[in-house]
Amino acid sequence: MLAHPQNSSRNDADDTQRREENLTMWSVNSEAMPLGDLLVRTASRTPDRIAIALPGEEHTYAELLNESILIARGLLSLGIERGDHVGIVAPNSYEFVAALFGTALVGAVSVPLSVRSTPRELAYVIPHAELKVIFATDLIRSHADSVQRIADAFPGLSDSDASKPLHLASAPHLQHVVMLQGEDRPGTIGRVAFAKLADQSSSDAVNIARSRVRIRDAGLVLYTSGTTSNPKGCLLSHENITRGTFARPGAAFSAEEFTEPMVMWCAPPLFHSAAIQGLLFCIHLGGTFLTDVHLDGDRALALARKYRANSLWGMFMAAMRSLMDAEGFDPAEFSHVHSMMSVGTPADLMELQSVFPQALLVNGLGMTEVTGWFALSDRADTPEQRARTQGKPVTGAEIRVIDPETGEDRPDNTPGELLIRTYTVMLGYFHDEEKTREAIDENGWLHTGDLVSRTPTGHLIFEGRIKDMLKVGGENVPTTEIEVFLCEHPDVLIAEVVGIPDARLDEVPVAFVQLSRGSMATADDLIAYCKGELASFKTPRAIFFKEETDWPMSSTKISKVALRVEAREHQVSSTRP
């Protein structure tokens, strides 16, 4: 029906407002591509821009693409095919990023592992992940010799002929360990030899392999500690990895409004889903990614100064504090910083906002099973909301907060278990159908095990974890893993692990132990037993002894709630003058 003439101006105004609202609503596109295509696209657009910089080195997008293609050619020469699993045991580095993309270019699946993994941990993960090739470096050999740890996990490696596929009984799928940097080691293929192998395959062969990768193919397996003693491998598709990475941070940060290329300082290790998401978001924007082989405040400050970092992705307050506590740090030098991402206590985040008042602080909730962030601060959030809530579910994420006992939905402001259903939920746990069924129900809801409450405005507030899990410096640490290991000591009868607050790592583990009758083991003995077998951040900071009648009990089991209170009392008494 035609509008009356007297209403035409009002209708025009309504149409204009509607068009503007639609443009805002539809400004974030749902884009997905194979991981290798991301680097190819950005390198073709900005070949001479610096892609990645570390202290003392920088590399352009063209250089990164060329190195990634060389690695891909080497993998093809070693017989790696689409769907094969390739491990990356390296610190944050140019080599790590090139290996990630080189693996993706041939359609293989990257499995990044922590350089802090102990031989015990590697002995489980490497065969479980069915790794055919492992990439390693000597970049932090004096601090964490990952190649030696692999050799300790599989003693036959050092005696093997590197020119032939490996035959290790305890790792039957593993064929080669390749050094992307550093000295040749026994049983490994050195950098020079690997480059010669790459000459046996062409760039055309890599391009053909790249063209065969499907969006729903697996692209990553990220291992995350669960509530059992062994970690679980989250199988993530190329859609999981790229579609979520492009859309979610872009919505929170309003990337379209950036007036200059992003220069992102990112602190966490790249085997962590949050750091990988930061890396890929930065490359998607054609930005420069700043990182380091290990976290050091003074080095981070110098790097951020040199490249004028305008987005700070500390992710965790421990990393942000390392930067702010560095000698010579002056907030005035960083008045150009437009955004930052971190989680922490409300007091921590309010302090962070006061140091960088002009920057948009993004808080959030994430987990490896959802390929990173699933809730982020909204653009319209106030500083108070950014500090005290973990934001709102991102577009495309369905959220339920339920009573974990009854499955009924909880009302606002009432803690319950968080359930998520979205396109970034993992394909499943690798080689663990039972745990996959436990985690993802028949209707596609991922049961996170996290306790959250939802405000009337739709913001989420993290309330804790249903099952015991510590968060040490941003890393999930299951108390069960430490308890099981302690109980393997011949003198330990019972072990219970809880967390206590820590200024640097947010929380750290301590253990309560009941010794076998007649044992004379000391706290120092048990801590020494853990060192070298458990990663340093999993090693208990203190051991407290219990007699059989001393344990605080709930109706049927030892009360960890009471143990946490007791641990904090020990902590307070030990700090009194």
Question: In the prediction, which pLDDT does 517 show?
Answer: 85
Q: 54-232 has which fold?
A: Rossmann fold (3.40.50)
The DSSP line for 276-319 is HHHHHHHHHTT-EEE--SS--HHHHHHHHHHHT--EEEEEEHHH
Domain ranges of the chain: 54-232, 389-467, 470-575
For the chain, percent helix, then strand, then coil, each to nearest 5? 35, 25, 40
Query: pLDDT grade, residue 25 (50/70/90)?
Result: low
The whole-chain average pLDDT of the chain stands at 89
Tell me: the pLDDT tens digits for 450-476? Answer: 888 899 999 999 877 777 678 888 887
* pLDDT above 80 (res 4): no
* CATH superfamily label, 470-575: ANL, C-terminal domain (3.30.300.30)
The DSSP line for 380-429 is T--HHHHHHS--EEPTT-EEEEE-TTT-PBPPTT--EEEEEE-TTS-SEE
CATH architecture of 389-467: Roll (2.30)
Question: In the prediction, which pLDDT does 20 show?
Answer: 57
Tell me: the pLDDT tens digits for 390-408? Answer: 999 988 899 999 988 889 9
Query: pLDDT grade, residue 28 (50/70/90)?
Result: low
